[in-house]
């Protein structure tokens, strides 16, 4: 029987992480790198992708690379897995972490439902769901080749539950329908792929709760009161879940959605 350290060891494996220069993406990359994994960072911000890759290389003495990719461009998405395999020799782990969250000035996004627009809806689905489908499809032959491929989709608790609008009173924050619907679709895609790609590839999802990023104090206070663990999440909270699904700690686990939400959905 292998030890826990042996089960979590990712030495000799390569992970491709989209959105790897983002808040959660960097935490996931850091966790897998500490376990010995080679890391390919893919992000729309090419400079940030390179910087994160170099920082991981220096910190953990592993092989890394940074790729720029626009997930709204299918040709770029489909080229990623082969690019990673060319540079690293194999692809063992795929983490779909990039997400379209929009901005406050995007028309029809952070606005009341009757004012939300299909343009913003389509943009969210293109990045949050369609790009994941295309990337997984292109990565499947390489992940199958290893015999132990692992796909981790970063979804959201709002793919499982509706928003409490009282949290947003007197703030400029919002919760667009397209974000929730696309993340809900990603969770169902996870389940569908788990039975479709077995036994050589495992597919699981992580659904974070609210992550603290200097939101208005009134929002934070309301959120914390509704959360059993009494606080918002931080990026570090995602590291254990990511390592679990990426490694043989979860060798007999597929088709699951792990809610890392401080108990928000447990009420």
pLDDT digits (tens, 9 = 90+) for 226-258: 999 999 999 999 999 999 999 999 999 999 999
Q: Residue 78 and residue 94: Cα distance in Å, rounded?
A: 13
Give alpha helix (H) positions in 11-159.
Answer: 23-34, 46-60, 74-88, 118-125, 131-146
Q: Look at phi and psi of residue 114 and say left if phi exceeds 0, alpha if psi is from -120 to 50, else beta.
A: alpha
C-alpha torsion angle, residues 10, 57, 27, 246 (rounded to 10): -20
Please, which pLDDT band fits residue 105 given cuts at 50, 70 and 90?
Answer: low
The mean pLDDT value of the chain amounts to: 96
Residue 210 carries which DSSP code? P
pLDDT tens digits, 172-213 = 999 999 999 999 999 999 999 999 999 999 999 999 999 999
**Catalytic residue list:** 179
Q: What is the pTM of this model?
A: 0.96
Q: Smallest Cα–Cα separation from 153: which of 257, 49, 39?
A: 257
Show the domain range for 224.
4-266
pLDDT tens digits, 12-53 = 999 999 999 999 999 999 999 999 999 999 999 999 999 999
**In the chain, what are the helix, strand and coil shares in percent, each to the nearest 5?**
50, 15, 35
Question: What does the chain come to in residues?
Answer: 267
* Displacement of CA 220 from its chain's centroid (Å): 23
How many domains does the structure of the chain reveal? 1
CA angle (182 as vertex; 181, 185 as ends), nearest 5:
90
CB 233, CB 207: distance < 8 Å: no
pLDDT at 104: 54
Q: Residue 93 and residue 234: Cα distance in Å, rounded?
A: 23
The CATH number linked to 97 is 3.40.50.720
Q: Residue 260 and residue 239: Cα distance in Å, rounded?
A: 10
């Amino acid at each position: 029987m292998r030890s826990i350290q042996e089960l979590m060891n990712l030495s000799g494996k390569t992970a491709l992480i989209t959105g790897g220069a983002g808040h959660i993406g960097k935490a996931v990359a850091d966790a897998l790198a500490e376990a010995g994994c080679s890391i390919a960072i893919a992000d729309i911000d090419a400079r940030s992708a390179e910087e994160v890759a170099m920082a991981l290389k220096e910190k953990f003495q592993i092989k890394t690379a940074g790729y720029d990719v626009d997930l709204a461009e299918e040709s770029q998405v489909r080229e990623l897995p082969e690019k990673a395999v060319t540079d690293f020799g194999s692809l063992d782990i795929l983490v779909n972490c990039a997400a379209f969250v929009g901005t406050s000035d995007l028309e029809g996004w952070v606005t009341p439902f009757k004012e939300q627009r299909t343009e913003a809806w389509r943009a969210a689905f293109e990045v949050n769901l369609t790009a994941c489908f295309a990337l997984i499809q292109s990565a499947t032959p390489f992940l199958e080749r290893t015999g132990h491929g692992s796909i981790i989709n970063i979804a959201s608790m709002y793919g499982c539950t509706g928003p409490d609008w009282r949290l947003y009173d007197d703030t400029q924050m919002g919760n667009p329908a397209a974000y929730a619907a696309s993340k809900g679709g990603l969770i169902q895609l996870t389940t569908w792929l788990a039975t479709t790609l077995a036994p050589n590839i495992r597919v699981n999802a992580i659904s974070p709760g609210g992550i603290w990023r200097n939101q208005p104090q009134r929002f934070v206070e309301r959120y914390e009161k509704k959360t059993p663990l009494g606080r918002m999440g931080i990026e570090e909270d995602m590291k254990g879940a990511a390592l679990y699904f990426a490694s043989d700690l979860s060798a007999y686990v597929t088709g699951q959605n792990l809610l890392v939400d401080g108990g928000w959905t447990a009420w």
